Amino acid sequence: MFSSLYLPIAGNGVNILLLLGLGGAVGFLSGLFGVGGGFLMTPLLIMAGIPSTVAAASDSNQIVAASTSGSYAHYRLGNVDFKMGLLLLLGGVLGGTLGVQLIKMLRALGNADFVIKITYVLMLGIVGLYMFVESLQSLRKKVPEISPGRRAEPGRPSLYARLIQALPWQMHFDKSGVTLSPILPILLGILVGILAAIMGVGGGFIMVPVMVYMLRMPMHVVVGTSLFQILFTCINVTIMQAVSNHTVDLVLAIVLLLGSTIGAQFGVKLSHRLKADQLKILLASIVLVVMVQILVGLLLAPGVMLDYKGGH
Amino acid sequence: MASRGLCGRIIWLFLGLLVLAGLPGGAPAASPELLITPEQIDIGTFFQGVQVQITGEIPKGSEAVVEIIGGTQAEHLMRKGRRLGLWMNVGEIEVHHAPSLYLAAATDPRLLSPSRNETSWGFAALKKRLSFSGQMQAGEEVQLFQQFLELKESEGLYDASTKIQRISSSGGGPPLVRTTFWLSGRVKPGNYRVCLSVIHQDGKVAQKCADLPVRAVGFPALLSSLAYQHEALYGILAVVIAIVTGYLMGLLFGGKGGH
């Protein structure tokens, strides 16, 4: 009798063990690979029959919960660059608001599901392929890792470094130890905010590499600052989705959180037994498998040739 | 004298109440001709769908059709089509006079047969009532109706394949018919109509109908009303609950959370 849980916003009864299992599996991968897992959670929920707009919005709410304790822990350790975080957040709020309105418009046109799925195919395809190729090269060559901040030689600034320096309103970020224009973090925040609204992700899988390679921030500050920015971006996206699209299912978010928190504990334990390159190639394979699954769904003729306008 | 008058009025009032309590018609679902179990469906926290059993009396030699019908509404749907090799929604279709739920069962399956144009029940009858408008070409109605049925059947909201059992009544009463429908977990709160149509041997049809209310109760009702009537409050509440849950989980497991 209690095996099923009614999701009032999705308007459907779903097996509670399935939801806990999904949350647990994503949490396990999250703990294993040290990523948030939002980019896996939404596609898996869609595959489980949750409407994609509800899956994405509820996942944003789940990310609020998931990133709260992490943000607080990093704040206490002094790993949050608030100046950078606030600029990223400004962009994130703008991008998130834009993304939610985009989803609202697409729902009215009847193609929100398609845009969410195709964005996933593109993002997972790019990130998965990049990670796969990079880990494969790393496994073959065994080249010692070079700190990204030291890649550009001091005497010969790269084209990218010169471009960054040419941007107006250069300011120094003490905590990160970098000097750059606020335009860059704001633009990055906008991009992550749009993706958070469309895909229901925190955006850590884009934010972390971009902060390391493009903003040249030290790793310990990157994790804390990205969590801080993700927390507030997802708070904004959750409220906006609730107000504009009525797609946040609180029950779904909490069950997923319970599953993912427990799953993450097992993931963390196993991660100590595997090597970094093995972990990366495994994660890249999972990302690519999910991407292929969504792509196949878009390529093959659907079983039912009609769909509800605006999802369910 | 005055107290005798008051006593008399109380006695008459009491007798009147007794008569009223004995009158039939207050609860049609409990009528011996059409019994619905349960009489009301509550969508609660653990709702996943429910079995609805309908029992009715029919004269010997007659046939019966039982239907559960939802309120009619205009459905806004999207047609799927292929663009650049990918399947996406390509055109809007509006379906008029479509019941939100249609479940039918018959003692003789031919009564619901799609090939019987003259039938008053089943998908064939539904087809006559529905109409389509929007991005469609002339003559596409038949194909669209089939696709519409497939969509609704995939959600368990339309079905015309359930059987009716004949049961001989104990005590020499008229024979009974009984059927059990599965009401999908996707059913929406609202008032549904249950109808038993009896087809006599001379071809005449008698019908008995009763209401089957479906309502959201408890936590789902509270969340739905918050989400749709107080959107901003619901959004803020969702965030506050997520923050508190996340913080407690962090304390409990000592994790650092994720993205």
For residues A8 and B22, give the distance between their C-alpha atoms in angstroms, rounded to a whole number.
Answer: 40
Q: Which residues of B are less than 8 Å from A93 in CB distance?
A: none
CB contact under 8 A, B148 and A64: no
- Mean pLDDT score of chain A, rounded to an integer? 83
Highest average pLDDT, of A273-277, B114-118, B221-225, B243-247, comes from B221-225
Q: Is 0.90 topped by the overall pTM?
A: no
Q: For A6-17, what is the mean pLDDT?
A: 90
- Cα A307 to the center of its chain, rounded Å: 28
Question: Given this model, what pLDDT does residue B259 score?
Answer: 44
> For the packed helices A219-244 and A204-213, what is the interaxial angle rounded to 10 degrees?
140
For residues A143 and A138, give the distance between their C-alpha atoms in angstroms, rounded to a whole number.
Answer: 6
**pLDDT of B236 strictly over 90:** yes
**Which of A71, A73, A250 faces B241 most closely, judged by CB atoms?**
A250
Per the CB < 8 A criterion, the answer to whether A137 and A281 are in contact is no
CB contact under 8 A, B250 and A111: no
Question: Given this model, what pLDDT does residue B5 score?
Answer: 54
* DSSP, residue by residue, B140-183: -HHHHHHHHHHHHHHTTSEEEEEE-EEEPPTTS---EEEEEEEE
Q: Which residues of B are less than 8 Å from A192 in CB distance?
A: none
Pairing of strands B102-106, B158-163: parallel
Q: Note the pLDDT tens digit of each residue in B140-184.
A: 899 999 999 999 999 899 999 888 888 876 666 778 899 999 999
Q: For B2-29, what is the mean pLDDT?
A: 44
Domain segments of chain B as ranges: 32-215, 218-250
What is the CATH number assigned to the segment(s) B32-215?
2.60.40.2550
Q: Note the pLDDT tens digit of each residue in A17-54.
A: 999 999 988 888 877 776 667 778 888 888 888 888 89
Smallest CA–CA separation between A80 and chain B, in Å?
Answer: 14
**Which of B45, B147, B224 faces A305 most closely, judged by CB atoms?**
B147
Q: For A259-263, what is the mean pLDDT?
A: 85
Q: Is B253 on the interface with A (CB under 8 A)?
A: yes
CB contact under 8 A, B238 and A298: no
What interface predicted TM-score (ipTM) does this complex get?
A: 0.78
**Which of B88, B154, B242 faces A114 most closely, judged by CB atoms?**
B88
Q: Is B85 on the interface with A (CB under 8 A)?
A: yes
Q: How many A/B residue pairs have CB atoms within 8 Å?
A: 224
- Mean pLDDT score of chain B, rounded to an integer? 83
Q: Is pLDDT larger for residue A181 or for residue A156?
A: A181
Per the CB < 8 A criterion, the answer to whether A212 and A42 are in contact is no
> In this structure, how many other beta carbons lie within 10 angstroms of the beta carbon of residue B140?
14
CB contact under 8 A, B243 and A68: yes
**Which of B86, B242, B256 faces A253 most closely, judged by CB atoms?**
B242
**Which of B238, B251, B255 faces A250 most closely, judged by CB atoms?**
B238
